[in-house]
Structure 1
Amino acid sequence: MGEILQRIQQRGKEIGLSEQALSKEAGLSKDGIRNWRRRFQAGDESAGANVTSISKVAAALGVSELWLLYGVEEDQPRPTVAIAGAVGAGAMVPVFDAYEKGDGPQVECPPQLSPHGIVAVEVQGDSMEPIYSAGDLLFYTRETPDGVPAEAIGHRCVCEDVNGMGWVKQVRSGSERGLFNLISLNPGADNQHDVQLKWAARVRMHLPADMARRA
């Protein structure tokens, strides 16, 4: 979002359009873009922007959505994200390239995300139905190489246990410090209790298998 705001500022100066005037032209509230900037500076990575509002701002600036999102033109290839491997949603799946090595297959980065620091994994199994199905892609960012951050607790996460198995589960605190319960969404699937995890990262975005554009 920081890069998008920089491009908004750059293009606005080129055409002599203030943020307030641009917000009005794009059909946002008069402080719409200023509020994006404030929220981003406060730590909100998306700043409350969505695909529709980004499209309207791009039109008001006279630029393509692709340029506003990524700084590239329509005839240039879209940025891609590495598919790091697979995670089990019921199936036991070894993690084989779990952290931003980028050597695996690639998928086009969804326009809602910046490709920087993002990793994708493919779901195997059905324990997270009806939300995540086999073959779907999940996008996440690991803020730290190890450990389970407090903000991950209670949320759907990509994680790796001490045995090297990768999972997508809702992560909850276990019976003791350092232990975690891995909860399935499918009522017919098993949960795992008091599991030791190497790391966990919240799922930032889910892309159904039929919507993924592999490079």
Structure 2
Amino acid sequence: MEGRRYYAGAMSGSLATRIKAIRQTAGLNQTEFANRLGTTQSTVARWEKGAEPSGPMLHAIARVASTTVERLMGTDDLASAAADQIPVVGYVGAGAAVTPFDDYAPGDGMAFVERPPFVSGRAVAVEVKGDSLLPVAEDGWRLVYTGEQTIVEDQVLNKLCVVQLSDGRLLVKRLMRGSKPQRYHLVSTNAPIMEDIEIEWAAPVRAIIPQ
């Protein structure tokens, strides 16, 4: 219960404020707190003025407060929020071609969508532009797909997928078995079929999110 006392009263404000609150809630002056942690009073004073403790010291302070380093640093809520968000990293335009946002690194995006409860692991989304995917998806809708880039046929055949061609283009198509080995027909909702196409990988669309 002592640890809960530290935790309840000390986890708001800046890191410096949290460290000071942990020390005060424990009923320790700076020298006593330093002795508990195996450091010096002057070091504790610097922490309480804004200096950041080293990794081992952060763990030691967290143990005193019976909490986690993430909670101490105030990053646990951010990590949880990030896990619930999926970055929008490109758009699907004319011909169902995917155009990445060049200004954003992988894992980032110009916007985020809420992660559907049935989508786990690494996932990204692309935004539909225009009528390229009608009637499956309308302008502004988002398609979510995961990092499971594969050509294992039982995972991708007859499914709407984000597909990378051998020439580097990214398309959103329904994948069908082609008439030649390791070739596929790419079926659009409102464009001619692309027949016997060589692909690098396909990632099934896991969710379509209306806007």
Instruction: Give TM-score scaled by structure 1 length.
Output: 0.52
Pair 1:109-2:111 in alignment: no
Match of 1:87 in 2: 92
| Structure holding more helix per residue | 2
Which amino acid in the other structure matches residue 176 of structure 2?
R
Give the alignment's Cα RMSD to 1 decimal: 2.7
Work out which of the residue numbers 132, 137, 142 in structure 2 matches 1:132: 137
1:150-161 equivalences in 2 (<5 Å): 150=153, 151-161=155-165
Which amino acid in the other structure matches residue 193 of structure 2?
N
For residues 200 and 100 of structure 2, what CA distance do their matches in structure 1 show? Answer: 11
Q: Identical aligned pairs, as a percentage?
A: 35
1:185-204 equivalences in 2 (<5 Å): 185-186=189-190, 189-204=191-206
Which amino acid in the other structure matches residue 149 of structure 1?
V
Classify 1:108/1:128 alpha carbon distance in 2 versus 1 (closer, same or farther; 3 Å): closer
Aligned length: 130
Report deviation, 1:128: 2.6
Classify 1:118/1:142 alpha carbon distance in 2 versus 1 (closer, same or farther; 3 Å): same
Report deviation, 1:93: 4.1
User: Structure 1: any 5+ residue segments left out of the alignment?
Assistant: 1-71, 211-215
For residues 142 and 160 of structure 1, what CA distance do their matches in structure 2 show? Answer: 13
Classify 1:114/1:153 alpha carbon distance in 2 versus 1 (closer, same or farther; 3 Å): closer
User: Structure 2: any 5+ residue segments left out of the alignment?
Assistant: 1-75
Match of 1:148 in 2: 151
* Greater gyration radius: 2
Pair 1:164-2:159 in alignment: no
For residues 123 and 170 of structure 2, what CA distance do their matches in structure 1 show? Answer: 17
- Given that 2:91 and 2:129 are in contact with CA atoms closer than 8 Å, whether structure 1 keeps it comes out as yes
1:1-215 equivalences in 2 (<5 Å): 77=81, 79-88=84-93, 90-95=95-100, 101-114=106-119, 116-144=121-149, 147-150=150-153, 151-186=155-190, 189-208=191-210, 210=211
